[in-house]
Structure 1
Amino acid sequence: MKFEVGDKVVIQHSNDEGEVVEIINDKMVLVDVRGVKFPAYTDQLDFPYFKRFTEKKLFPAEKKPKKYIDQLPPEKPAPGKKKERIAQLADGVWLTFLPVFDSDEFGDDVVESLKIYLVNNSTLAFNFSYTLTYSGNSDFNLDGALPSMQDFYLHDIPFANLNDNPVFGCDFSLMTPDRKLAEHYEASLKLRAKQVFGRIEEIRKKGEATFSFKLFDEYPLRPYEEEKPVDTLGLGKLAGSGFRIYEASNGAAAYGVGEERA
């Protein structure tokens, strides 16, 4: 099926209804489902009217007797369910890559570029400073905010640039400072073309759209700093001026107090 921006669609595996907000290529689109955007293959989508038509039954369903509200048992709270996200990842913060395919002169699918996202599957919200370097030279910088359980689109890079030793770096800090947690945390990812080729083949076999690398599991604690004793008597200044400072327990011995004299 061919879709256009603005088309209402149904996700086959979840029956969620959404809207096409971007055409990635002839086989993939970006879908918005209740405010959550994620890529999906077009063969995994249906038009709502097609779904409703195929679900029509030859015979009407048997009507069940009405129940009134005072006859219904109290509803138990359902456990929380995470929204469908760009990638079903475990806890932590991830860098997620979406390969964008194109056809070459022989009609074969080749990766043209990679869309890059930051994915925050933790309970904390972060500010971040993102940098991309090639062979040690800075190429792209971006500062932004990454709320809890949200994704942030960073940018696209040509697939051929993987031959230039890219390093993806992020410096994270808390949006709400916590005295128990570190002021900031730096994480980086180095990728090689051969490594990415392997991941792309893996997701194509599984029918998935993205692959991801974890930047960190948990935001680190603030390093422990041992408190120094307060010099309330100013003895440090005396010692620095040439005075000899003794422990109180050794003071008498230092001056010969208590020793027998001949």
Structure 2
Amino acid sequence: MMKITKNNIFLGLACSLSILSCAKDNYEKPNASLKGVLVDVATKNPVNGVVGNGNFGNLQFFQMDYGVPNPAAFTTAGFKADGTYANQTLFNGKYKLVPRGPYFYQDTVTVDLKGSMQVDLPVVPFTYPKITVGEITSNSITVKVSAKRNAAAEAIMPQQISAVVALLGTTAGVNYNNYYVVNNNTTNYRYVVNTSAVNNNVIATNEYSYTFKDLKPGTTYFLRGASRVSTNNPSNYYNYSELLTVKTSN
């Protein structure tokens, strides 16, 4: 009969760990990547996103070649400010892509992914927010923000614009959840206009003016407009304007 010693135990553990390590090392690594951009069906322009998914949504992937009738979804890191996305940790295979956010998504995009590919995603944005810059001083920036419904989206489903927003931040990642905060936010760098009771046609003709105060001289700030609808928008997603870079005077 073999005598069991500590050395035998340690040797057995070492062999087991070695086998597990080899098995782990033999797993297939991701060998494909996918990138693209959200594209407005009507204008053919990129749809502005946000860094970090702040109230904007994400892209769902469904891998279709495993023989599962209803495969589970997994998501990427989301869309960047310029509407682009990228996932570099995929395997070759067949995928269905479904973007979720402040837009109607009509066409199912299925991709037979092999290596690196680019696939753009057509969507119909809910709203078109806009922000313009007026007077700039050493410690303030005056802006005008507006929003209008996308006619193509209105044809699909009537939706009420419930908020128009002006945002100021210290980084290019400014969004509804990420903006400049000082004095325990007693100085407001997220200006929100509640438009729930205002007719969309009236909102489209208005420009809401606001002055961001108590800023630092000679400092660069980032500005964006945003707007959202209250109908068929359970996650309260916002559409965003382009990103503006503004520097206060010295």
Give me the TM-score of the superposition, normalised by structure 1.
Answer: 0.25
Higher relative contact order (Cα pairs below 8 Å, separated by 6+ residues): 2
TM-score by length of 2: 0.26
Q: Of the two, which has the highest radius of gyration?
A: 1
